[in-house]
Structure 1
Amino acid sequence: MRHTRIRVVGAAALALSFTGPAWTAQPATASPAAAEPARQVLPAGDGWASEGTGTSGGAAADASRVFTVTTWEELRGALAVAGTEPRIVKVVGTLNATAAGCAAFEAPGYDFEAYLAAYDPAVWGYETEVSGEQEDLRAASAKAQGKAVKAYVPANTTIVGVGRNAGITGGSLQIQGVDNVVVRNLTVESPLDCFPQWDPTDGATGAWNSEYDSMVVYGSTHVWVDHNTFTDGAHPDSSLPSYYGEPYQQHDGELDIVRGADLVTVSWNVFADHDKTLMIGNSDSAGATDRGRLRVTLHHNLFENVVERAPRVRFGKVDAYNNHFVVAATGYAYSFGIGFESQLVAEKNAFTLADGVQPGKILKKWKDAPVTAAGNVVNGAQVDLLAVHNAQFPDEILRADAGWTPSLRTRVDVPRAVPALVGHRAGAGRLR
């Protein structure tokens, strides 16, 4: 078994190392100054996650439940420690969930060249989903990767990066079915799916579909995601190959908030250079779990050169204000996706659009739902996003008035000041 050490930092000056079935103590040094960001709680009134009991994560953790980790295995070990008492996990450096490479997850007999030969549309066609030996082996390989790259975050936990260069690459943080979680100050590089599935029935010419979001909030409540940087890092979509004439898509989302998740505040983050960025609600048919939930606040985030889903919303009452959207000249689809039974309020945001990008594209109608869009500026000038959308897309008319007024806002900045403010303060390494 690989030796994993998890240092515990606090007044008790103890460290634990997991070497098998038992925990042992070793000396460690306390660092009160480094603990300060980990002890911060979401301010009262700061978005939906402040509703009710508020969000404190592991701020009240005893010294024995403060862990410092330097590898992906150590992080998973710290999160697996039993009990729901508050815990703090400090991340030092970059934790690599796939350091061993894709070959480490391959099922015996899996061969990508054989996969390509078996399911080439010239052989398989486009009418039937793929099946057979190589698809079964691909699925087994994907299952092995999924088991290795997912880390499950328990209730009453704060995960915080130490300093300016802490982060995770290749891993997926799963905040599933728990309450009271804080994630701050991490640079999170999107997991690269080693084994995308070819679906010949996806669209007219088929598509490659991938798994593994950087972070998933699934059926959880009171979650604060703050001062993180989400990026494709060393593997942007532009670097990925094509097969069967379609992009070999190895990325999924950066942040998904789904399956009855509720009371979430996403603040001062950077979402950069990604396609399907942030989804709130993942199915029109999930009303039984999602209706009345998916209440999310997005404020002071930077969305830079993202293609779509910033966010796409179903069901939820989503408050998006004081965010900055930097839009590239090519590849842009939309920013706000208006989906089934959504109630989006988009106010006092700033958009910097490249030449040739029309502001009518900022909103996208997926299903009929009302939206409030007020006080937003585009390239420094105030623009009625609803009016320009409806003028540009007369066959996709959106209705005004989301039907509710946000009240959980601690500060609202003048939208023309947002680009400089967010550019200076958002993202990992900029905690105050």
Structure 2
Amino acid sequence: MVPPSHRRSLRRRRTALLSVGAVAAAGLGAVPFVMNANAGAVELARQALPAKDGWAASGSGTTGGSKASSARVYTVSTRAQLVKALGAATNSAPKIIKVKGKINANTNAAGKALTCADYASGTGYSLAAYLKSPSGAQEKARAAAQAKQKKNIVFMVPANTTIVGVPGTKAGITGGSLQVKNADNVIIRNLSLTNTRDCFPAWDPDDGDTGNWNSEYDSITLRGATHVWVDHNTFSDGPNYDSAAKAYFGRKYQRHDGALDITNGSDLVTVERNRFTNHDKTMLIGSSDTDSVGKLRVSIHHNVWKGVTQRAPLARIGQIHVYNNFYDTTTLNGYAHSYSINSRAKAQVIAERNYWKVPAGQKVSKLLSGDGTGAIAGTGNLVNGKATNLVAAYNAANSKKLKTTANWTPSLTARLQTTATNLPTSLTTTTGAGVLP
């Protein structure tokens, strides 16, 4: 006979597991707490990516700093504290960094706010002089000023690290760039990542037909990174929107680069339950048409894309699964929609059971893009609630056709919902920073 105390314990455990199963069955994605038979609820900072939750669950999975000793758990609320907690990029011992409140990356070691003028000081750079001669001495001065800003706002994230926002504190980083370079096993969750702005964009007269301004810094950059879980974050250019930027040499002086870029052979990445908003070049997968064959495997699911111009994502080479996302293509704060998903350089994209909210007059053929070599497979996509063959619509209107079959079949799909119908409603309250308790 099982003792009464053990029966009560079993009932509690059964109830917890049923609750988790009910949430998963409802398609609500990663749950706030992961139950462990021996330890009860696992706190947010020590949670690992659930099994079969996208490409980052492949192989050894993604655990971040969940096994960190108590001595390697840090709570930070300033830039200086964040730098100290991150330590050397080569130190791969597990660590957890809890971000409490909003950290301004554009501050010095004493916490004094820094401006673009502070970074330019002593370099000889001025925008007025650069516009007169964007080469030679002024280009060197621009590069020097940019290097000063980069040293201050780029944070290198070591392997086996979890960075998580403390619930209830409006946690986030403004003006900063988290970079995971040649590191494995990283988790970034529950952060508001805003206004990652380059003070010193460079003019490239050979970019495109008429030249263009190019800026540095993504809110999150993955370069040669593996096993990365990016979950429940909010990305935005606010409050410095590109729509307010002036034009020089006939092109907008754009100070923002990507929101989340996955390049240089990065692999086994899961991006879920994030909100991407008020941004132009949002997510780049693959830095070039020859980035890394056999890598760039990325799962993108249950995200909200609202007020996003393009690259949601732009994919090259890899095997990318895009499912159960909600795209609202209505213009927001001057960010007008160009396209959502671009498959090029033989990328193998499977886009299924996503929902697009499209304003009257916008062509469905504009939701996709490609160079004639990439594939976009998948069914169950809805446009304003109606089942729509997005690839057929695109191919009917374009000479460079998207291929309709992919060379792989997803298997790590624990969170896949069978229908996209309820996504506009369900994702409103389950995505972005500040949702996790």
Q: Same fold (TM over 0.5)?
A: yes
CA deviation profile, 1:241-294 (whole Å, cap 9, x unmatched):
2223321110000001011110000000000011000011010132xxx11101
CA deviation profile, 1:54-85 (whole Å, cap 9, x unmatched):
10101111110000001112111100157322
Q: 2:377 is matched with which residue?
A: 372
Matched, 1:412 2:427: no
SS in 1 for 2:180: strand
Matched, 1:73 2:77: no
Q: 2:317 is matched with which residue?
A: 315
Following the alignment from structure 2 to structure 1, what is the Cα–Cα distance between the partners of residues 105 and 117? 13
| Counterpart code for 2:84 | G
C-alpha deviation, 1:309, in angstroms: 0.4
Matched, 1:44 2:51: yes
Following the alignment from structure 1 to structure 2, what is the Cα–Cα distance between the partners of residues 389 and 253? 25
Give matches, 1:322-333, under 5 Å.
322-328=324-330, 331-333=336-338
SS in 2 for 1:399: coil
| Residues 372 and 400 in structure 2, CA contact (< 8 A), matched pair in contact too | no
SS in 2 for 1:224: strand
| Residues 221 and 262 in structure 1, CA contact (< 8 A), matched pair in contact too | yes
CA deviation profile, 1:326-372 (whole Å, cap 9, x unmatched):
00257321111011020000000000011111111111012412220
Give matches, 1:19-418, under 5 Å.
36-80=43-87, 83-98=91-106, 99-106=113-120, 107-119=122-134, 131-164=135-168, 165-286=170-291, 290-328=292-330, 331-393=336-398, 395-413=399-417, 414-418=419-423
Following the alignment from structure 1 to structure 2, what is the Cα–Cα distance between the partners of residues 232 and 246? 19
- Change in Cα spacing, 1:367 to 1:283, as seen in structure 2 (3 Å) is farther
SS in 2 for 1:425: coil
| Counterpart code for 1:115 | Y
Unaligned runs of 5+ in 1: 1-31, 120-130
Following the alignment from structure 2 to structure 1, what is the Cα–Cα distance between the partners of residues 239 and 41? 29
Unaligned runs of 5+ in 2: 1-38, 107-112
Following the alignment from structure 1 to structure 2, what is the Cα–Cα distance between the partners of residues 134 and 85? 43
Give the stretch that moved more between structures: 329-338 or 234-243: 329-338
Q: 1:28 is matched with which residue?
A: none
C-alpha deviation, 1:386, in angstroms: 1.1
SS in 2 for 1:416: coil
SS in 2 for 1:303: strand
Following the alignment from structure 1 to structure 2, what is the Cα–Cα distance between the partners of residues 190 and 255? 13
TM-score, length basis structure 2: 0.85
C-alpha deviation, 1:380, in angstroms: 0.3
Following the alignment from structure 2 to structure 1, what is the Cα–Cα distance between the partners of residues 142 and 100? 34
Structure 1 residue runs of 4+, over 2 Å off? 32-35, 200-206
- Change in Cα spacing, 1:202 to 1:176, as seen in structure 2 (3 Å) is same
| Residues 303 and 326 in structure 1, CA contact (< 8 A), matched pair in contact too | yes
| Residues 310 and 335 in structure 1, CA contact (< 8 A), matched pair in contact too | yes
C-alpha deviation, 1:397, in angstroms: 1.6
Following the alignment from structure 1 to structure 2, what is the Cα–Cα distance between the partners of residues 210 and 390? 33
CA deviation profile, 1:391-413 (whole Å, cap 9, x unmatched):
222x1222211121111111322
CA deviation profile, 1:301-326 (whole Å, cap 9, x unmatched):
00111011000111110011000000
SS in 2 for 1:410: coil
What is the number of residues matched between the two proteins?
Answer: 386
| Counterpart code for 2:124 | G
Give the stretch that moved more between structures: 108-117 or 143-152: 108-117
Following the alignment from structure 1 to structure 2, what is the Cα–Cα distance between the partners of residues 415 and 307? 22
TM-score, length basis structure 1: 0.86
SS in 1 for 2:365: helix
SS in 2 for 1:386: helix
C-alpha deviation, 1:94, in angstroms: 0.8
| Residues 193 and 234 in structure 2, CA contact (< 8 A), matched pair in contact too | yes
C-alpha deviation, 1:115, in angstroms: 1.4
| Counterpart code for 1:161 | G
Identity %: 47
Following the alignment from structure 1 to structure 2, what is the Cα–Cα distance between the partners of residues 204 and 157? 43
